[in-house]
Every structure is written in structure tokens, then in C-alpha cells.
Amino acid sequence: MLKHLRLAVALLVAGLIPSPLAGQATQAADEILQTSIVLSGDVTSLQLELANGRALRIQLSDGEVLIDGKEVGRYVPGGLLESAWRDLLREAGKSELTLAWPGFVSTEISTPEAGATAAIRGAVGPFLAAASAGPAAAAAEVASEIAEAAAEAAAASATAAAVEIATQQVSETSLSELVSGGLVVELSEVEGLARGLSRVGLAPELTRVLNGDLEGPVRIVIDADSYVLPEGVLLDHRLVLVQSDGVIAGTVLGNVVVAEGSLIIKPTARIEGDVVAVNASVQNQGGTIVGRLRDVSHFRPILVVPSASQRIRIQRIVPSAFSRVLGGLGSLARTIAMYVLFAFLGGLVVYLFRGHLEVVSDTVSYSFGRSFLAGLAGQILFMPIGLVMAVLIITAIAIPFYVVGFALLALLGYLAVAHAAGENLTQHRFPSWAARLRRSNSYYYVLNGLGVLLALFAVAAITEMLYPLLGWAHDLLIASAWILTWVASTAGLGAALLSRAGTQRSYARPHQIPELPVDTLVEELRPIEHRADARHRAGEESDES
């Protein structure tokens, strides 16, 4: 019974999947639907997508020549075969494979690459013969060259490998689905996988691709040469084809996703959900799609690597505790570096432009709301003004000065906010006038204010080390730190604009002599005076003695 079943499967597949042998391929040769070429530094590949849903893939990579994933020979990197192959693909990309093929066929390639060359010619040539027999002008010439190549291929020992690939074992994923090569994975539900993937940020993509449908079983076919769901067969799963080429003639009770492959939907097919293409091609030849036929661009494929034992390894990058601590320390170091840099710049500004800085700082303190709105307006208008300057050619030359001036103004504003924050902090931390007087200088204000502005980043860096426990707090702190930074920068910029870089006090706190609480101050200073007198008297007595 099983033998009959296997025979039936083999016959069915033989009908569905054309062999690349020269004799049989003639019929299928004009059925190339799509040609895909990839040329990069270390990989070159050609893929022919056929009308029956199957594809032929030839790839040269790491010294190996692979046809449909099977090694059929080796090539010398930079050698004759690779050079001719790259020329072929380059020309085919610019024009057509049929026109570029004779050049590849006519290139003489000696051992040890002859076997691999013959295998490539034997696998591709027959598909091009009939295609070029149509409208192409040089049809006869091309066909004869291809026939010659096919004969050569037949004589070569590597052809055996090609035959083996063509008749590779057909596996059955169920009693009725047919899969050639590749790997089939069945998941009872995707929700758990989605939860796991959410930690690495892939869940939204998965949900998007499956159209939010995460409940129920899903069948995933990976890297298969062909997947066939014959007519009359019902698949009560959702179906995901990854780097596979499929034909659906039966019924699928759910969404069908094709990622980096191709799918043909036969007239007898019925798909109850959506058909989603992710960097793929889908051809509906008249089947019924109850949902929508749609495409999803830029899906980051899950890195699935089938091993020799056909197990799945899903590469998930989960940072270790050590790397988290290192990351947190790095963030802390960056925050400290920022503090040092701004402290240095702040010191310079205080030393050189203390008056200007104090006016801007006073403007922020006295007219914070107005400063913030002015800064916001400045940020919004920055680009349009720049564009106007660019359009009016006379002012275009001033654009670099405009940009640098704006940046310097923003820096002055940020430091002024730090100054104002430091000044307020000092007043609150040291209610004692004597203590406050000792700290009444702009250097102290700026350093303290910068500490306040950057403190949230430092705390966030510490929580980053404990991310599994305090992830929410880290995210909250980072968001708060950036919002605080933006608010401070905006208000500082606005204050710098309102005060004309600290030259006008229109919106600053008016100059006034502080009403010193003299009595309190005298009381606070009295012990200091007493101590000074005592020291003075003690000194006189010692002199006398």
C-alpha cells in the first residue's frame, strides 16, 4: 500500500516538477516566468522561477557551486568560471539571460572547474532553448550552442548530481501535501512564538505578516524546492512558505504567507484568508482568495537555520547579564563624558561671557514660559529660514554662519538653563545666607545645574544594568531625561533669542539689590568673627610670651 502511495506521489510530482534533463526540459523551457539575479562581493546567484511553481537556483559561494542547494562542484574564487558566471549575470541583468547565455556557453573552462561548468550549463541551458526559439533573432544559433552544452553536460560526471537533484526525494508533510527538499515545521500555535519574539522586537512584524491572526496551528515550509497542495486537498492550517516555491490547487483554511519565494494559485484553489507576499511573487491563475492579496515590504525575516539534522535553531539575541552591566556602565561613562564636556564648555562661557550668560539665565528664570515658546518658534522656523536663504542666492553664502550661530545660541541657552537650575538649587539647598554667599558664583551654578539636567541619564544608566527587573523604570527615565533635555534646550534657546544672546534684559529679572536679612546674616557671621578674634588674640599672646 505504502509502495503504491509512494509511486503515486512520485508520478504526481513527476508531472508537476519538470526535470532539468535536456530531453524533458524542452517542454518546460518556455515557462520561465521570472529571472532573479544577485551579485555581491562573495555570492552570486541566478534563480529561474517557472510557470509550474518550481524554481531553479544556482549559486556560487565560498568556492562551492550549488544547484538547488546541492553542491555539484567547486570553483576557484576569481578563476575562469566565476569570472564568466559574473559576466553572464551582469549582462543578463542589463539585458536578458537568453542573450547573455551564448557568451557563457562559448567560454572555455578547463579542469578542475569543467565539471561544475557543465552542470550549470546542463541545468540552465535547456530552459533557455525553447525560450529563445520564439521571437529571438539568434534562436537557432543559441539553441545549437545550448544543445551542445547539454550534450557536454550529459557526458560530464557532474550531470549525475544534477539528475539527483531533479529526482530528489519527495517527502509528504501529510497524506496529501508534497514537499521537495527543505524543511517543514508545524507549530500548534504562534502566540507563544510571538511572545518570545516580542523580546527581540520581531512580534509586530510577525503579527503584521499573519494579519494579527496568531491563534491556531501554522505550517511553515522552509527552503523547499517545491511545495504542492494538490486539488481537492484541505489544509486546516495557516501556511507560511519561507524561501520556498509553492503551488496551491487545494483549499487552505487560513492565511498564506510567502516570504522570499514564489506562489502559484491554481484555478481550483481556495484560500480562506489573506495571501501575503513578503519580498516574493504570487500569481493567482484564477483561484479564490476570500481575504486579500497583499504585500508586506521590509519584513525582517526570522533567522531560521536548518541544520543537517533538520532541527530548527532560531537565532535570538538575548543580552546576557554581563553585557547588560557593561552596557549600563557604558551609558554611565557616556553621561559622565557629556557632563565633563559641558562643564568644560560652561567654564569657558562663564570665564569669557559671564554677563551674557547671567542675562540669559535670568531670562529663563524670570520668563520661562515666554522663553519656551520663543525657543519652540525658533526650532520650527530654523529649517524654513534656511531654505529661504538657500533659494535667495545672495543669502546662501551666509548659511554656514546661520547654522553655526544657531548651534552656539542653543549651546549658550542650554548652559544658561543649567546656570539657572544651579542657582535655584543653591537657594533651596543652602537656606543659610553665609553658606549661600560662599557658593554664589556662576561656575558653581553651572556645574550643579548640569548635574541636575544629566542626573536622569545617569540613573537610567544604572537601571539599564538591572533591565529585566527595572526595564520599565529605565524606559521611563530615558524618556523623561530626553523630554527634560528638550524642554531645557528649547527654553534656553528661546531665552538666548529673547535676550539677543544675553545683551538685553527686556525679559530678564530686573536688577535689584537683594534685601539682605542683615540681622540674620550678622547672627550667622558672628561666630565666625568670634573665632577670628580668638585666633587673633591667641596670636598676640604668643608673640608677647
Which residues would be at the binding site for another protein (CB under 8 A)?
A: 32-41, 51, 89-90, 92-94, 96-97, 134-135, 265, 275, 277-284, 286, 289, 293-299, 345, 348, 352-353, 387-388, 390-391, 404, 407-408, 411
3-class SS shares of the chain: helix, strand, coil, % to 5? 55, 15, 25
Nearer to another protein, 345 or 455 (CB): 345
For residues 242 and 225, is the Cβ–Cβ distance under 8 A? Answer: no
Is the Cα dihedral 268, 272, 274, 280 positive or negative?
Answer: negative
Shortest separation between residue 93's beta carbon and another protein, angstroms = 3
Per-residue burial over 41-52, b if 16 or more Cβ lie within 10 Å, else e, is: eeebbbbbbbeb
Nearer to another protein, 336 or 452 (CB): 336
Task: Report the C-alpha gap between 50 and 246 in whole angstroms.
Answer: 11
Nearer to another protein, 66 or 282 (CB): 282
Report the chain's terminal Cα–Cα distance, integer Å: 127
Shortest separation between residue 427's beta carbon and another protein, angstroms = 30
Task: Report the C-alpha gap between 424 and 179 in whole angstroms.
Answer: 73
Nearer to another protein, 58 or 265 (CB): 265
Write out the three cell numbers for 78: 576569481
For residues 142 and 44, is the Cβ–Cβ distance under 8 A? Answer: no
Nearer to another protein, 296 or 399 (CB): 296
Residue 86 to residues 5, 100, 113, 189, 454: CA-CA distances in angstroms? 44, 11, 15, 44, 55
Shortest separation between residue 38's beta carbon and another protein, angstroms = 5
Shortest separation between residue 277's beta carbon and another protein, angstroms = 5
Nearer to another protein, 45 or 174 (CB): 45
Shortest separation between residue 314's beta carbon and another protein, angstroms = 21
Shortest separation between residue 132's beta carbon and another protein, angstroms = 11
Nearer to another protein, 400 or 514 (CB): 400
Task: Report the C-alpha gap between 507 and 372 in whole angstroms.
Answer: 12
Half-sphere CA count of 384, side-chain side, radius 13 A = 5
Shortest separation between residue 33's beta carbon and another protein, angstroms = 6
Task: Report the C-alpha gap between 172 and 230 in whole angstroms.
Answer: 12
Residue 148 to residues 102, 144, 306, 327: CA-CA distances in angstroms? 11, 6, 38, 62
Shortest separation between residue 36's beta carbon and another protein, angstroms = 5
Nearer to another protein, 32 or 453 (CB): 32
What contacts 401, CB < 8 A, 6 or more positions away?
A: none
Nearer to another protein, 11 or 404 (CB): 404
Residue from 199, 196, 235, 231 nearest 214 by CA:
196
Shortest separation between residue 345's beta carbon and another protein, angstroms = 7
Residue from 277, 253, 279, 255 nearest 264 by CA:
277
Shortest separation between residue 34's beta carbon and another protein, angstroms = 4
Shortest separation between residue 503's beta carbon and another protein, angstroms = 13
For the CA atoms of the chain, what is the radius of gyration?
38
Residue 505 to residues 322, 374, 412, 484: CA-CA distances in angstroms? 53, 15, 16, 25
Residue from 294, 125, 312, 317 nearest 223 by CA:
312
CA dihedral 74, 79, 81, 87 (to 10 degrees): 140
Nearer to another protein, 160 or 388 (CB): 388
Shortest separation between residue 13's beta carbon and another protein, angstroms = 24
Nearer to another protein, 96 or 524 (CB): 96
Write out the three cell numbers for 327: 552596557
Task: Report the C-alpha gap between 423 and 428 in whole angstroms.
Answer: 9
Nearer to another protein, 97 or 222 (CB): 97
Shortest separation between residue 338's beta carbon and another protein, angstroms = 12
Nearer to another protein, 60 or 97 (CB): 97
For residues 251 and 269, is the Cβ–Cβ distance under 8 A? Answer: yes
